[in-house]
């Protein structure tokens, strides 16, 4: 069965410091993996996606994620946090045999000035 675990429910960083949001997945198939961001009272926006091409995926707003099959991980990183990055981030796996995405519980990112 497919599942997603986001290892931190809340991450707090200072502006200008690196961001690391951790995600592990479990999938019986070669997965498609996504990171979505949700700003307060807004819908979800796609940050980046992994689709079995390059293992290092670059997304919008300077974010990137690396697919590591041996570690079943898909961690999201950014070299330097900006105040506008404060939001909730969801790691998501696409389920091949069903019509849905499996969402992690989310990681809330706070950015301190």
Partner 1 sequence: NAGVTQTPKFRILKIGQSMTLQCTQDMNHNYMYWYRQDPGMGLKLIYYSVGAGITDKGEVPNGYNVSRSTTEDFPLRLELAAPSQTSVYFCASSYSGTGSAYEQYFGPGTRLTVT
Q: Which residues here bind partner 1, judged by CB under 8 A?
A: 4, 9, 29, 32, 34, 36, 41-46, 49, 51, 90, 92, 94-101, 103-106
92 — phi, psi (to 5°)? -140, 140
- Minimum gap (Å) between residue 96 Cβ and partner 1: 3
The token duo for 50 is 């992994």
Rounded Cα–Cα distance for residues 33 and 44 (Å): 15
The strand pair at 107-112 and 56-58 is best described as unpaired
- Minimum gap (Å) between residue 89 Cβ and partner 1: 11
Q: Which is nearer to partner 1, 70 or 97 (CB)?
A: 97
Q: Which is nearer to partner 1, 51 or 80 (CB)?
A: 51
């Amino acid at each position: 069965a497919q599942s997603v675990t986001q290892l931190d429910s809340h991450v707090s960083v200072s502006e200008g410091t690196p961001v690391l949001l951790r995600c592990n997945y479990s999938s019986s198939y070669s997965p498609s993996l996504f990171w979505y961001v949700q700003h307060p009272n807004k819908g979800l926006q796609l940050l980046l996606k992994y689709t079995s091409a390059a293992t290092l995926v670059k997304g919008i707003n300077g974010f990137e994620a690396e697919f590591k099959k041996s570690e079943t991980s898909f961690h999201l990183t950014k070299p330097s946090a900006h105040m506008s990055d404060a939001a909730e981030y969801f790691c998501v796996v696409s389920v091949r045999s069903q019509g849905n995405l499996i969402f992690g519980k989310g990681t809330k990112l706070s950015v301190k000035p």
